[in-house]
Amino acid sequence: MALLPIVQYPDPRLAAKAEPVVVFDDALRQLAADMAETMYEAPGVGLAATQVGKLIRMVVIDISEEKNDLHVLVNPEITSRSEEIKECEEGCLSLPGLYEKVKRPSFVTVKAQDLKGEFFEMQCDELMSVCVQHELDHLDGIVFIDHLSQLKKSRAAAKLAKRRKEKAREEKAKRENR
Ligand code: NI
């Protein structure tokens, strides 16, 4: 197992569309295990392959508090969305420290394959619904702030850039005090 570096916004890889998985082999299972480890370590509740620089359609999700309910979705597709919309605050490991409210359908049904290529279906509500939609967006090159108005999005991107600068400054100060 290995921790993988998480691609940071606005890296162009986060805007790329991922390719379907066609081979279900040990390398795929290893990548899923490494992605799960990276997600738990971060910590986060979801991670898409595109966020670790692999442009393939796979995401890992675990919204449980105990971190013992891992879902690996390969070639996931949303097959139905509720008309009801809900607004929920979202964050992303590729945009750390940034939290913004995003409107999405309250319920979705998702069809996906597991690591052996077997198809399964999931009915998602609440946080699972938000998380599935957020992660699947990543496979199409969409990050959560893309759902905001242009004004809110540029404000959010500026906030993120400022936070990053502050963090770099803090780390530099830490190094110099050593
Ligand atoms: Ni994300």
Question: Residue 68 burial (CB < 10 Å; 0-12/13-18/19+)?
Answer: exposed
Low-confidence stretches of the chain (pLDDT beneath 70): none
The DSSP output letter for 12 is G
Tens of pLDDT, residue by residue over 38-53, are 999 999 999 999 999 9
Q: Hey, how many other C-beta atoms are within 10 angstroms of the C-beta on 34?
A: 18
Nearest 10 degrees: Cα torsion 16, 9, 88, 124: 40
Centre of ligand 1 from the C-alpha of residue 172, in Å: 27
pLDDT at 177: 84
pLDDT at 38: 98
Predicted structure pTM score: 0.94
Centre of ligand 1 from the C-alpha of residue 40, in Å: 14
pLDDT at 32: 98
Centre of ligand 1 from the C-alpha of residue 102, in Å: 12
Token pair of 75, please?
């070639």
pLDDT at 1: 74
Centre of ligand 1 from the C-alpha of residue 26, in Å: 25
The CA distances from residue 118 to 24, 72, 74, 121, 147, in Å, are 10, 12, 10, 10, 32
Q: Which residues contact 138 (CB under 8 A, 6 or more apart)?
A: 14, 18, 48, 50, 51, 59
pLDDT at 2: 92
pLDDT at 47: 98
Question: What are the catalytic residues?
Answer: 135
Long-range contacts of residues 34-39, Cβ cutoff 8 Å, at least 24 apart: 34/1, 34/2, 34/3, 34/4, 35/4, 35/60, 36/60, 36/62, 36/70, 36/72, 37/1, 37/2, 37/3, 38/3, 38/4, 38/6, 39/93
Centre of ligand 1 from the C-alpha of residue 91, in Å: 7
